[in-house]
Structure 1
Amino acid sequence: MSTPLARPLPVSIFKDDEPVVQSHSLLPDADPPVFGHRGIWDFNGVSAAAPTSPSAAGGPPSAMG
């Protein structure tokens, strides 16, 4: 009978202190989640602007008819 080999733990490509949100501007007092926090990532109060582009809203207002 063979014994299964122990596999090493996967290695993350992100540092534990690396912020999850890096591509958006943040609010002045924002505390962005970091990859090392494996619980809940709270994005409330992180983004400085809501998506307002026509593509995010489903098209221009005249097309919503």
Structure 2
Amino acid sequence: MAGVKKLMTLTHEEFIRRFSLLILPKRFVKIRHYGFLSSTCKRQTLNILQGNLKIIVLEKNREKALST
């Protein structure tokens, strides 16, 4: 049964233990990308979306040449 909520009572220690599992070590960064920005399909999907939306994307080398 999906979507069923249950009430749970925790001790202070157990709550702090579970909460501390969410804290990342120093210099670690939590990255979340879902949907069309997920790392597995980003390039392919972005190219398709840009084509459908008729967005013109400049190449990096051309951007540098135009800015100087």
Q: TM-score range by the shorter chain?
A: under 0.3
- The structure whose Rg is larger is 2
Larger helix proportion of the pair: 2
